[in-house]
Amino acid sequence: MELHRHIQITDDGELEIGGCRATRLARDFGTPLHIMDEMTMRSKCSEIKRSLSKHFPRVFVAYASKAFCTLAMCRLVHEEFLGLDVCSGGELYTAIEAGIPPENILFHGNCKTLSEIEMGVRVGVGRFIVDNLDELDLLSEISRRFRRRVHVQIRLNPGVEAHTHHYIQTGLIDSKFGLGITDGQAMKAVERTLASEYLVLEGVHIHIGSQILAVEPYVVATQVVMDFVGDVKEKFGYSLREVNLGGGFGVRYKSTDTPFSLDEYAERVSEVIRESCHIQRLDFPSIMVEPGRYIVGEAGTTLYTVHAIKDIPGVRKYVMVDGGMSENPRVTLYQAEYEAILANRALEEPVVTVTIAGKHCEEGDVLISDVDMPRANPGDLVAVFTTGAYHYSMSGNYNRYPRPAVIFVRAGLADVVVERESYVNLLARDRMPARLMQIGARSSEPHLPAAGNPG
């Protein structure tokens, strides 16, 4: 297995991330534990800006915070001079609390509520990415009520197939996202935006899907967008200054995954734009991208403790760990595949093929179906790689498991950025209606039969 650049194995066979040994992290912070390598995230931020600015005269990179959104993460991307894409009031609130200048925030969402739109207008987000005509009308009305200029990009549905899991493919015609080009909805949105008193139409947006491993779908989608930009110019004499190409850049989950390079992406996409601009007599637009997974995916590793082994001779060997689908729902949702090692015995040769199962009460709660490992024992540590994106952010409390802590590691330092949930936290918002307590007090009968075998 080829480990990510930032992951080391010490001479005595221990996994080390950001200069921190796995056993120390497990001891100090407990397991399951999400470990984020700070320097990896920072270098991804600078790599993406470097690659894109070689090919685009003006480029704005907004980190898609849905991949992993915490105060510390928002702060980190701000320090790296990236903007932020948010898609809910909660993400927007986190960004503002982290001190992100609102003008660097892009506000997404296919079903923004009235209060979310008001919040966005009140704080003054940099761009509203309008997803449908109802939202547009509401936004127009609210901007008038607040007497605030609101800068808008219209999300187009380009009708392009991205080769990825169909749950994370968003650019097809039959999608809840974006305004259709072929059915005239997108052009209608342009017309209404231009007619609105306080809305300023800046550009168009697409996002064709996630974990995309080939450049081709981007090339096709970019052409569709540029044709639309040309049509808008022709129809309204209006130049759309911004083209937002969304996110979706794939990362390496398994050694066999081969993501494209951002240089290749930028080169191919900029070619399409340059040519379209030439043919349609347009100025080269400002380009925006919204990577989420690319920035945090590979930086994340999740550490688990093995608690039990179940060997079904000739069938399967289960290695059971103290986490699972509540902090990694991606396996059950998208049949996602991962690689893992024994973090405390990382130099030992793999001798058995095992299934790493979680601790939830679901047969499908499996983290990895077949992985070769040394023979694991209770107390060993398992590290699952590439867990930085859409793990913490999609985690839940199924079976009332408290959510794991998240730490940032860097040069031997480890800092908590999200505390581990406690049982007390789990009950913090539970309420007991007084009348249920009264009923409870009346029935003190034991429900189990008397203990002991009467036999």
The interface with ligand LLP within residues 185-214 (CB under 6 A) comprises 207, 210-211
Residue 293 sits in the site that holds ligand LLP (CB under 6 A): yes
Select 211 or 222, whichever has its Cβ closest to ligand LLP.
Answer: 211
**Closest CB 360 distance from ligand LLP, rounded Å:** 18
**Closest CB 68 distance from ligand LLP, rounded Å:** 9
Residue 265 sits in the site that holds ligand LLP (CB under 6 A): no
361 is catalytic: yes
Residue 85 sits in the site that holds ligand LLP (CB under 6 A): yes
Residue 387 sits in the site that holds ligand LLP (CB under 6 A): no
**Closest CB 169 distance from ligand LLP, rounded Å:** 10
Number of residues that bind ligand LLP (CB under 6 A): 23
**Closest CB 348 distance from ligand LLP, rounded Å:** 31
Select 4 or 66, whichever has its Cβ closest to ligand LLP.
Answer: 66
**Closest CB 334 distance from ligand LLP, rounded Å:** 6
Q: Which stretch binds ligand LLP (CB under 6 A): 118-126, 140-148, 247-255, 399-407?
A: 247-255
- For the four alpha carbons of 128, 129, 131 and 136, in that order, the dihedral sign comes to positive
Measured at the alpha carbon of residue 86, what is the angle toward residues 138 and 335, in degrees to the nearest 5? 115
**Closest CB 95 distance from ligand LLP, rounded Å:** 15
Residue 247 sits in the site that holds ligand LLP (CB under 6 A): yes
Residue 334 sits in the site that holds ligand LLP (CB under 6 A): yes
Select 210 or 344, whichever has its Cβ closest to ligand LLP.
Answer: 210
Residue 330 sits in the site that holds ligand LLP (CB under 6 A): yes
Binding mask 43-72 for ligand LLP (x = CB under 6 A): ---------------------x-xx-----
Residue 179 sits in the site that holds ligand LLP (CB under 6 A): no
Give catalytic residue positions: 361
Site of interaction with ligand LLP (CB under 6 A)? 64, 66-67, 85, 108, 168, 207, 210-211, 246-249, 290-294, 330, 334, 389-390, 394
